[in-house]
Structure 1
Amino acid sequence: MTPDDEARLVRLLADLRRDRRQQSGLDPALVPPDEAAAYRIAAEVAAELGWAVGGWKIAAIKPEMQQALRTNAPIYGRVFRQFVTESPATLPGPQLLRPITECEYMVRLAADLPPRATPYSEDEIADAVASVHPGIEAAECRFAHDDRFPPLPAILADASGSGTLILGPAIPDWRNADIPGQPIVLTVDGRERRRGTAAEALDHPLAPLTWLANELSRTGIGLAADEVVSTGTCTGMILARPGETHTADYGAFGTVTVSYSA
């Protein structure tokens, strides 16, 4: 991949985000050669857009989801501030790029986690957490999921398909709450479509959050206070269509609702 190709991809991904457009396929010359290049390009796309970063998404924590996303390790991407909101939310269904609903725990940070030479421990990460919330990610990809869908590095360059994060209420006394064992049920227009737990999907939200802090630190990037991190799906993925209402029931932790307008 030449410097000119890299610049072309940065401009393309920035334009697709600005215009809320999706395209089929990608010129093979524009596919990043590896994950490191893809993440570097994702940072350049963010700089080109000039949008404030409001947080991060994590995906593919466990092997089953890694297989579905064609990777052998977790992945991450930036989420822009204007796409972090609270439940109940209404999103413009016809303008979205075939959004995927995922039930995820969201963590808001109370303190910066700057890059450093030694890895962060899970206890240090816990001390930097302001709150933990039930949530929904409405993920979007700038590439159509068809027979021309590009390789994974192209998706990583697109911030791993980041879209909108919808936060529910903060979980009281989250350190002592049974977050791993709490059943989560996703309904679409009142009909159950998915269910799961954090224990099955990612153990506890602190595990992927610690992974992200250390993965970013390794590349010279830090997490910042007030950023929101979506820690990975607990219920798998389901395509959302205009006119539908998706509700994630987290039991004692409350519900999160997103309506996709027709």
Structure 2
Amino acid sequence: MKLLETIVDELLDAERNQYSVAPLTERFAGLNVLDAYQIQLEVIDRKKAEGRDVIGKKVGLTSVAMQQMLGVDEPDYGHLLDDMKIADGETVKISEFISPKVEAEIGFILEKDLVGPGGTYIDVLMATKYVVPTIEIIDSRIADWKIKLVDTVADNGSSARVVVGNKYSTVDCLDLRSLGMALHKNEELVATGSGAAALGHPAQAVAWLANKLHEFGIHLKAGELILPGALSAAVAVTEGDTISANFGPLGTVSVIFE
């Protein structure tokens, strides 16, 4: 337990002071995924004790390609806190990050609690109040993004910020599985994708999350924002970049880095 506390201290300090640390999996051979989730939960508890509020959750590693790259057969998750939320079109300072990247995702805002196990994507759709276009800004406290599953889980799923669009839609007017997305950096198209990239259907990824959280005595709560996973590969950003994501009928969302 002392080792886990030491890692918590290290990750918190690295985030606050914008520096990276060597991969945990290279330094602590016995560290497993359960340990990593315990580290993540302790990091979140520490932040909550400082006055932060949990506003939602995010799912990562929802694509087969990413799972194969890290040698895993299931996604992972992280927490979203109130100080991570950014309004559509806002400017953020690149100095607040270590090695940021962006991903476009279909955000779910829940109207009802979702409690696992046994939840299905139909349960998710019935519990959803709105879907909204989002850009997740991911960042890794692990040096050079040399992450394995244990590294990213301990590091809160490599979360950093979430940019939330202004258009709120109900799920009954959209085919989320086939919904397309075009991601632009400085007006240049850099990635495309569809809702099916997130475990075949973004609501399926949210169902996975609800069921996974049950293992830790946690459930998804009404009002929370849930990110079900990226619709394309992550795109690196630097100072001066403008990022925009167009989801067609779902709307657009953008962020500027300075």
TM-score of the superposition, structure 2-length normalised?
Answer: 0.90
Q: Which residue matches 2:150?
A: 153
Residue 33 (structure 2) aligns with:
35
Matched, 1:46 2:44: yes
Residues 135-162 of structure 1 deviation map (CA, whole Å, 9 limit, x = unaligned): 111101111216xx35431221111101
1:189 is aligned to 2:149: no
Displacement of 1:218:
2.4
Q: 1:174 to 1:236 in 2, by over 3 A?
A: same
The alignment-based identity, stated in percent, is 26
SS in 2 for 1:233: coil
- On the 8 A contact 1:32/1:154 being kept in 2, the answer is no
1:166 aligns with 2:163: yes
Distance in 1 of aligned mates of 2:187 and 2:218:
41
Q: Distance in 2 between matches of 1:27 and 1:193?
A: 32
| Structure 1 residue matching 2:45: 3-state secondary structure | helix
Q: What SS does the corresponding residue of 2:143 show, helix, strand or coil?
A: coil
C-alpha spacing 1:133/1:27, structure 2 compared with 1 (3 Å) = closer
User: Match for residue 95 of structure 1?
Assistant: 96
CA distance in 2, matches of 1:81, 1:31: 34
- The match for 2:13 is 15
Structure 1 segment 108-147 matched on structure 2, within 5 A: 108-114=109-115, 118-145=117-144
How far did 1:69 drift?
4.0
CA distance in 1, matches of 2:230, 2:90: 19
Q: Which runs of 5+ in 2 are unaligned?
A: none
Cα offsets for 1:82-122 (capped at 9, x unmatched) = 1123211211112212111111111111222345xx52233
Q: Which residue of 2 aligns with 1:205?
A: 202
Kept in 2, the 8 Å contact 1:105–1:133? The answer is yes
User: AA paired with 1:13?
Assistant: L
- Cα pair 1:209 1:231 within 8 Å, conserved: yes
- Give the drift of 1:67: 2.1
Post-superposition offset of 1:5: 1.1
Residue 78, structure 1, aligned to residue 114, structure 2: no
Aligned to 1:107: 108
CA contact (8 A) 2:70 2:148 kept: no
What is the deviation of 1:70?
4.1
SS of residue matched to 1:68: helix
Distance 1:53 1:69, change over 3 A: farther
Cα RMSD after superposing both structures: 2.0
CA 1:96 to 1:189, structure 2 compared with 1: closer, same or farther past 3 Å? same
Distance (whole Å) between structure 2 residues aligned to residue 89 and residue 98 of structure 1: 19
Q: Are the structure 2 counterparts of residues 47 and 250 from structure 1 closer, same or farther at C-alpha, using a change threshold of 3 Å?
A: same
Q: Does the residue aligned with 2:229 lie in a helix, a strand or coil?
A: strand
Q: 1:84 to 1:69 in 2, by over 3 A?
A: farther
| Matched AA of 2:33 | E
Q: Which amino acid aligns with 1:176?
A: C
Following superposition, the deviation at residue 81 of structure 1 comes to: 1.4
Q: What letter corresponds to residue 159 of structure 1 in structure 2?
A: N
**5+ long unaligned stretches in structure 1:** none
Paired residues of 1:14 and 1:48 also in contact (CA < 8 A): no
Query: Contact 1:55–1:79 at 8 Å: present in 2 too?
Result: yes
